Amino acid sequence: MQTNSNHTEQNNSHQHLISRYQQVRQDSLDICAPLEKEDYCIQTCPEVSPPKWHLAHTSWFFEAFILTRYLANYKVFHPQFDYLFNSYYETVGKPFPRAQRGLLSRPTVEEVLQYRLYVDDAIADLIEQSGNNRDSKLEFLIELGLNHEQQHQELLYTDIKHIFALNPLRPVYKQHSSPPIQQPEDYSWLDVPAGTYYIGSEQNTFSYDNEGPRHRILLDDFSIANRPVNNQEYLQFIEDDGYKNPAWWLADGWRHINETHCQHPLYWEKINQQWWHMTLSGYRAVDLSAPVTHVSFYEADAYARWCGHRLPSEAEWEIAATAYPSEQGNYRESGLLQPVADAQAPGFFGNVWEWTMSPYQSYPGFKPLQGSIGEYNGKFMCNQMVLRGGSCVSPTEHLRHSYRNFFYPHERWQFTGIRLVKE
């Protein structure tokens, strides 16, 4: 027999889940609130998705993996949405080509918003119908869907920035006063002794499957920088013809920058001897004290070689970061939406995703989730590099020490930066 205390606890759990669901879903709409209808359909490159697509895809995720499987007699909002808004789940069905998402004028923005309401109402009904019968698998899938949506919220910011940056009018997404220019923390090195350590998720709270299993690793002693490389420091690499000297570049990186004519971080432009760049608050002079961002793995690795140092492995990064709380950093809640120097709050989180030298691959004993949801992470463990730490557009609650992000080495439209290690 269930006690009254258990019944109350169950109700509180349901209310918390509904409240969290509503908040995360509203956050996506709030991110899109400054946009005009014309902005919702633009795709500026294959990696960038139209904002409208993000709003629909995150709703499709709940529909495809939860509602159609848990809610009896559920009727999908539109039979073709399973094709249009499936990202890469081949076991679910054939996805619409990623590079062609910007060609879809229909469904309209209004229809996508109606779709979101339809899905939200159904999820609320499902949680209510579960009553006092706690279903841990269902709760996990809802939590997975919310974390998935938070990933797309970060993508919304970075994709909107790319969309606006390619517009000659240089639109302003959201006007913010320029953050006060501060002196960065003095550059120093944090020493980590050699030894056997554990990395990976301890699974006390939600984590992705690629964050485990927790396992032992052996590290030699190393020293890691107390902060990311800033724009002033990176500018020295540019001015020393770093982009023109093959000695600093991996072969793939050298080929890539020559094919793309890359000579500086993404969004930078030199006007009258001063560097400017596009931000979500419009076109602004580069803050030389802020962490450099929008650089590829190739650029990060070349800069490290030029300095006589290297990038950290993801294990080195995680062990060094354990001394710092993941809640402390310049995240999207600051409202700045741009990396800034902060001598008062140094650490390993927020501001920029930090490239590591580690290829994205499975941990020993890794097993993907069962079923189609197992395609979420495991299928991408090839030819990508791990990044750690979160960025200025990441939600604070989304990050943790074991969190593993991953991108292809040439990509740089995300807020990606550099932290150095020396032997």
Show the CA angle centred on residue 344, arms to residues 264 and 179, nearest 5°.
50
Determine the pLDDT at residue 180: 61
Q: How far apart are the first and last CA of the chain?
A: 61
pLDDT at residue 226 tops 70:
yes
Pair 199, 110 in one domain: no
Provide the token pair at 141. 């899938």
Measured distance CA(421)–CA(165) in Å, rounded: 32
Which pLDDT band holds residue 9 (cuts at 50, 70, 90)?
low
Pair 34, 106 in one domain: yes
Determine the pLDDT at residue 175: 86
Domain's final residue, options 101, 132, 165 = 165
Please give the single-letter amino acid code of residue 340.
V
Going by C-beta distance under 8 Å and a sequence separation of 6 or more, which residues neighbour residue 217? Answer: 196, 197, 198, 199, 315
The residue-averaged pLDDT of 77-87 equals 96
Pair 137, 230 in one domain: no
Pair 262, 312 in one domain: yes
Half-sphere exposure of 417 (CA within 13 A, CB side): 28
Length of the chain: 423
Determine the pLDDT at residue 38: 97
Percent of the chain beyond pLDDT 90? 83
Going by C-beta distance under 8 Å and a sequence separation of 6 or more, which residues neighbour residue 262? Answer: 243, 256, 296, 299
Of 362, 399, 369, 34, nearest in space to 206 by CA: 399
Of 170, 167, 349, 165, nearest in space to 265 by CA: 165
The residue-averaged pLDDT of 262-271 equals 97
pLDDT at residue 147 tops 50:
yes
Burial of 378 (0-12, 13-18, 19+ CB in 10 A): middle
- Domain-embedded: residue 171: no
The residue-averaged pLDDT of 106-119 equals 98
Pair 158, 194 in one domain: no
Measured distance CA(66)–CA(72) in Å, rounded: 11
CATH number where 199 lies: 3.90.1580.10
Which pLDDT band holds residue 372 (cuts at 50, 70, 90)?
confident
* pLDDT, the chain, mean: 93
- Domain-embedded: residue 182: no
Q: CB count, 10 Å around CB of 312?
A: 26
Domain's final residue, options 105, 131, 165 = 165
Q: For tokens 């932290």, what's the residue? A: 419
CATH number where 82 lies: 1.20.120
pLDDT at residue 28 tops 90:
yes
Of 117, 108, 88, 116, nearest in space to 40 by CA: 108
Q: Which helix (H) or strand (E) holds 223?
A: strand 222-225
The residue-averaged pLDDT of 394-419 equals 97
Query: pLDDT higher for 147 or 175?
Result: 147
The residue-averaged pLDDT of 117-140 equals 88
Domain's final residue, options 124, 149, 165 = 165
Tens of pLDDT, residue by residue over 332-364, are 999 999 999 975 566 899 999 999 999 999 999
Q: For tokens 């006390």, what's the residue? A: 204
Measured distance CA(171)–CA(291) in Å, rounded: 23
- Domain-embedded: residue 174: no
DSSP 8-class letter at 310: B
- Domain-embedded: residue 289: yes
- Domain-embedded: residue 170: no
- Domain-embedded: residue 183: no
Pair 412, 319 in one domain: yes
Determine the pLDDT at residue 280: 96
Instruction: Note down the domain range covering 65.
Output: 4-165
pLDDT at residue 415 tops 70:
yes
Of 289, 331, 291, nearest in space to 182 by CA: 289
3-class secondary-structure state, position 413: coil
Please give the single-letter amino acid code of residue 265.
P
- Domain-embedded: residue 28: yes
Provide the token pair at 349. 């989180």
DSSP 8-class letter at 218: E
Pair 140, 22 in one domain: yes
pLDDT at residue 227 tops 90:
yes
Averaging pLDDT over each range in 180-189, 261-270, 341-350, 364-373, which range is the top one?
261-270
Pair 105, 150 in one domain: yes
Name the phi and psi angles at 116, rounded to 5. Answer: -60, -45
Determine the pLDDT at residue 12: 65
Pair 205, 325 in one domain: yes
Pair 143, 214 in one domain: no
Pair 201, 90 in one domain: no
Measured distance CA(360)–CA(374) in Å, rounded: 16
Which pLDDT band holds residue 2 (cuts at 50, 70, 90)?
very low
Pair 201, 324 in one domain: yes
Measured distance CA(286)–CA(266) in Å, rounded: 12
Measured distance CA(319)–CA(219) in Å, rounded: 10
**Domains held by the chain: number:** 2
